Structure 1
Amino acid sequence: MEIAVGTSFSLDRLVSIMKRLRDPSTGCEWDSVQTFATIAPYTIEEAYEVADAIARNDMGALVDELGDLQLQVVFHAQMAEEAGHFALDDVINGICDKMERRHPHIFGDAENGGHHLWEIIKAEERSASEDKSALAGVALALPALERAAKLQRRAARTGFDWPDASGPRAKIDEELEELELETEHQGMLEEMGDLLFAVVNLARKLNIEPEAALREANRKFERRFRAIEQEPGFSDMTLGEMEELWRRAKADQADSLA
């Protein structure tokens, strides 16, 4: 694929801006003192804002958010170069090498490819690391629901998995019972975690991404609550009156989507 004219210049401009911001003498007083640890939360936040723009199908916002995310890559690379670890070219060359290596049916001699081959190659790469576990490399910084699903998928590849959805469904009932029997906060916390883990397992067996399912539930709750809180006298209503408003808002929004 031919690179569009001006692409390299645009990236060079961003790199130049970041170098100037990071200058300890003449740079920005905020940017120049940041570290990998202080910037990491912003990197995660920007990735979610990209996902949000996609979910809203807002291409204007997506352009802006992708720029913010690109800035995070350049920011980390600049800090790494200052410390003598690596530079942006190493980051870009690394991902280029990885994409070519994991697509041998496109860039090499393999006749067949696809996601299955991608996973085989990833597994081979993991086997070369010191951590030989099937769970190696599942990032700690992932959202808990997403990480639970990924841990379960990795374990399932070894055969450690229920054959169908009835297993995790029964586990949910079991964990609910154990939660109800707990009286101490720490015990309840652990049992609630076990319950959520079982729910993620059920979602996985039903081919549902739990993170996406919860985002949709959040979206529906926010839309309905925003609708009912506009009702006159809402703050003085009883819970029963609020629930009646909730049922009506649910029905109205369901009708509007029909």
Structure 2
Amino acid sequence: MNKSEKRKSQLAAFDRLLTIMDELREQCPWDKKQTIESLRHLTIEETFELSDAILDHDLESIGKELGDILLHIVFYARIGSEKNAFDIGNVIQQLNEKLIRRHPHIYGDVRADDEEAVKQNWEKIKLKEKGNESVLGGVPRSLPALIKAMRIQEKARGVGFDWEEKEQVWEKVEEEMQEFKEAFDGVNDKDLNKEEATSEFGDLLFSLINYARFIEVNPEEALERTNRKFIHRFQYLEKAAKATGKSLADMTLAEMDVHWEKAKSEPFERNRSGS
């Protein structure tokens, strides 16, 4: 199949999806009841299912989950058309126009010789389009804190507010670590100022995320890999305990440590386990 034939096939498949959506909305009792608000939590769930498939490097599942998310997009657009607010054509056309506006190095006369220049242009154009008073105004309030910290730092960098060298960032990490140690010495819990310790720990995490960005490590991915690695080793520990006829609650910490060390050398699929 050549490129032209493939495009016709893709458009035909999308047209069929729109027809099915119309039929479901008009005939299916469940689909007829749905609103933009009722679909929201389902869309979030589908997004996390796609995230799981990506972490597992499961291309087949990624394709299926993308289909589920596409269904939601079409569903929202159908509801929007019923309210005379927007339809799928409007959604796609607005996206097309935005992509052209934000890539002036492709569709205009602006130069962008590397990825960083592209990102800076994107943020400047986005800020102008949205009319935000702050560069950080476009960061969603409900983003998980770790991802939000990444986006805040990226947006600040987009307008030139950033450290110059990674060594400076590491010095900041060490400074925040020392401040945290002073706020929480771990000796006398009664004297612990939890409010101050929480604040200092947040500063420490923010600086570590900053450093990760400088050495091109995605902190969200890094933490997820560690989560998965811990799960793998802990489940190995559970199985080992069960094999000896014990539960973890019946084992001493020393006994558990023996199996934990064995778990460290236990091979498992690197991609699917994220380690």
Q: TM-score range by the shorter chain?
A: 0.7 to 0.9
Q: Which residue of 2 aligns with 1:122?
A: 123
Higher helix share: 2
1:234-245 residue pairs with structure 2 within 5 A?
234-235=247-248, 236-245=250-259
CA contact (8 A) 1:165 1:206 kept: no
1:1-258 residue pairs with structure 2 within 5 A?
2=4, 4-23=7-26, 26-29=27-30, 31-110=31-110, 112=112, 114-115=114-115, 116-156=117-157, 157-159=159-161, 161=163, 163-179=168-184, 183=192, 189-231=198-240, 232=243, 233-235=246-248, 236-253=250-267
**CA distance in structure 1 between the aligned counterparts of 2:56 and 2:199, rounded to whole angstroms:** 35
Say if 1:58 and 1:203 are closer, same or farther in 2 by CA, change over 3 A: same
Unaligned runs of 5+ in 2: none
**CA distance in structure 2 between the aligned counterparts of 1:176 and 1:19, rounded to whole angstroms:** 60
How far off is 1:167 after superposition?
0.9
TM-score by length of 1: 0.82
Say if 1:171 and 1:35 are closer, same or farther in 2 by CA, change over 3 A: farther
How far off is 1:186 after superposition?
5.7
Letter in 2 for 1:145: L
Say if 1:252 and 1:79 are closer, same or farther in 2 by CA, change over 3 A: same
Aligned residues: 253
CA contact (8 A) 1:165 1:205 kept: no
TM-score by length of 2: 0.78
Letter in 1 for 2:207: A
How far off is 1:137 after superposition?
0.7
RMSD of aligned residue pairs (Cα, Å): 3.0
Equivalent residue of 1:230, what SS? helix
Letter in 2 for 1:224: R
CA contact (8 A) 2:176 2:207 kept: yes
Unaligned runs of 5+ in 1: none
User: Greater relative contact order: 1 or 2 (C-alpha under 8 angstroms, separation 6 or more)?
Assistant: 2
How far off is 1:120 after superposition?
1.2
